[in-house]
Amino acid sequence: MPEASETGSRPQRVRSGSIQSSPFLIVGLGNPGLEYLWTPHNAGFMAIDRIAQQEGVVVQNRRCRATTATCRIAGREVVLAKPETFMNLSGVAVAALVEEFEADPSQDLLVIYDELDLVLGTFKIRERGSPAGHNGARSVTDALDTQEWLRLRIGVGPDLPPEAIASGAGKRPGRDYLLSPMRKADLALMDEMLDKVATATRRILELGPAAAMNEFNRKDKDE
């Protein structure tokens, strides 16, 4: 059972070694519906499905306004979830999951979503931060009333040459790009990236966010 803190502000979870009293929540952001299935904005959903596939589970239970599945990763009970609330209201489902499982957003939650400012084929892990213009991330921050939650941002931006960006010819794509089906070449690149995202997620659970960031946030030596 949770123990009350001395200040009485938030119950502290009992931890014994790697055993946790609440499951770890991994939530991928996206839009439900077949028309959005292979769009860049659904990279979070794709990641959840890839993790579920590798863990031998199917994300099909309905709970807290999300479809969910439960598995064990690195000895920890894990709840995989895809909100059914559409991107702009992602926080509604995330907050409901946090409340349902008595999770601490700063320790028991990982949110995975797309990031236009990162090139397709890359991803970054961050322990906290502002939504940076992402409506789903903003909804999560507003619903939880904190920026202290772990996120993994999957790059979906086009790989534009520096000269195109400098000249203004390479404009940052917007809503139409995010909600349009990806090209076959981009889907192939995303497919490779999803395996790396799944590995990074396991590393977070095995070794912690700091170790995962040290391993996966490093720039390629050839860049």
Which residues have a catalytic role annotated? 41
Tell me how far apart the alpha carbons of residues 108 and 76 are, in angstroms, rounded to a whole number.
11
H or E stretch covering 157:
strand 150-157
* Measured distance between the N- and C-terminal CA atoms of the chain, rounded to whole angstroms: 49
Two tokens, residue 154: 């999957």
The total number of residues shown for the chain amounts to 223
Q: What are the structure tokens assigned to 44, written together? A: 């979070």
Distance between CA 74 and CA 44 in Å, rounded?
21
The angle at the Cα of 86, spanning 80 to 87, to the nearest 5 degrees, equals 85
31 in Cβ contact with 178 (< 8 Å): no
- Return the C-alpha torsion angle 122, 119, 190, 106, nearest 10: 50
